[in-house]
Chain A
Amino acid sequence: MPMQISISNAIGGGGGAQGSGGGSSFASTNSFTFDGINDKVIFTPQESRNGVFTFSYWFKFTGTFNVNTDCFIWGCYNNNSSYIKLVSNTQVILKLNGTQYTINESGGNNISQNTWSNFTLIRNASNSVQLYLDGDTFGSPISSGNSFTFSSFGRIINNSLGFKGLIDEASLFHSDETSEVATIYNSGLPNDVSSLNPVGWWRMGEEANYTGREWVLTDQGSVGRDMFSDTLPAPPAQPSTDVPT
């Protein structure tokens, strides 16, 4: 069996890029690759949020738009009540508690394939839900008070719906961080979001431990819901050193 390996890039302890928001040395040096076939990271109990929230993650989409095995970045492992689906470079479908919302971008802030991008999804106190791509709005806001549920990156349910690409630095806030979208995006370089008090922060490579049977992604947020994966291979196949730069 593979030996137990820890990959630690402690907040404030890593070298490299300087984020503007954290005030300390911070760098993302790892991500996880998802094969579009069976790879996933999951946690329990699933997030179920009715109020304001902010959900941010970096992704590098290497699949094909609107192909079910490739284009579902996140969702719920045990059901498909919520997810995001990449339909085209100008369209995503956001599902919240069973209701699908089509979001179309017409201003040219399009999704790129094979390029690192940041999605930040925010619901404010007026139940206005806005998706941001790389710090700018993607499409128009939708109105929804439906529950936002989330428990999985890379695969939804057991079959069919998955993601092909890389994911890095996922963070979840029970707050409206609209005023911090630029800080989170940080001109394309993942930032230290600890000062924004995330309830969940999965660094996707750093602060991850391979136990010999599975990856444990230690939650750097306040709730402490670690993510797990018994489908992602052991080092050195994972994690990847391909990160947003």
Chain B
Amino acid sequence: MSHIYPQDFKYGVINTVDLANVDFDEDIYPTSPTSLRYSLDGSQFLIKWDEHHTPHFIEDGDVVPASILSWADCNALMQTPAWNEPEPPIEE
């Protein structure tokens, strides 16, 4: 099956309090918690998955996403102040 990336993916906004219930051995991205993108206040983070393979921890209700978005909607969310800060200062 061919994919059109990233349009074929769903993006889940997950509350950080649910991090321990996210199974990174499922087919989600990033595959490691160290590469998660968090909201600026740290209260939420993003994962994504192939739209045809919803993670079990979501299907089973172990994690209830704050929202599940298309790529276009997620991209729009990323440009809001909650997720996008002005260019930060040098961090050497």
Q: Which residue in B9, B36, B37, B90 is a CB contact (below 8 Å) of A233?
A: B9
Instruction: Give complex CA distance A230, B24 in Å.
Output: 11
Identity of the chain B residue whose Cβ is nearest the Cβ of A231 in the assembled complex = B30
Instruction: Give complex CA distance A68, B91 in Å.
Output: 17
Stretch at the interface among A73-81, A111-119, A129-137, A187-195: A73-81
Structural contact, B31 and A159, CB atoms closer than 8 A: no
Structural contact, A157 and B88, CB atoms closer than 8 A: yes
Chain A residues whose C-beta falls within 8 Å of the C-beta of B71 in the assembled complex: 35, 37
Instruction: Give complex CA distance A185, B5 in Å.
Output: 27
Structural contact, A158 and B37, CB atoms closer than 8 A: yes
Helix, strand, loop or mixed for chain B's interface? Answer: loop
CB distance from B22 to the nearest CB of A (A): 14
Chain B residues whose C-beta falls within 8 Å of the C-beta of A237 in the assembled complex: 3, 5-6, 8-9, 50
Structural contact, A160 and B84, CB atoms closer than 8 A: yes
Instruction: Give complex CA distance A164, B75 in Å.
Output: 10
Structural contact, B88 and A80, CB atoms closer than 8 A: yes
The total of Cβ contacts below 8 Å across the A-B interface reads 101
Determine the interface band of chain B, counting residues with CB < 8 A from chain A.
Answer: 35 or more
> Interface digits, B11-31 against A, CB 8 Å rule (1 contact, 0 not)?
100000000000001010111
Determine the interface band of chain A, counting residues with CB < 8 A from chain B.
Answer: 20 to 34
Structural contact, A233 and B79, CB atoms closer than 8 A: no
Structural contact, A38 and B92, CB atoms closer than 8 A: no
A69 interface residue per 8 A CB criterion: yes
Chain A residues whose C-beta falls within 8 Å of the C-beta of B25 in the assembled complex: 1
Structural contact, A233 and B35, CB atoms closer than 8 A: no
Structural contact, A213 and B38, CB atoms closer than 8 A: no
Given A35-B71, A69-B78: A159 in contact with B11 (beta carbons within 8 A):
no
Chain A residues whose C-beta falls within 8 Å of the C-beta of B38 in the assembled complex: 158-159
Interface positions of B (Cβ within 8 A of A): 1-3, 5-6, 8-9, 11, 25, 27, 29-32, 34-38, 40, 46, 48, 50, 71, 74-75, 78-79, 83-88, 90-92
List 6 additional A-B contacts (Cβ < 8 Å) besides A160-B88, A230-B34. A37-B11, A69-B79, A78-B91, A79-B91, A80-B91, A234-B27
Interface positions of A (Cβ within 8 A of B): 1-2, 33, 35-40, 67-69, 78-81, 98, 157-161, 164, 213-214, 230-234, 236-238, 240
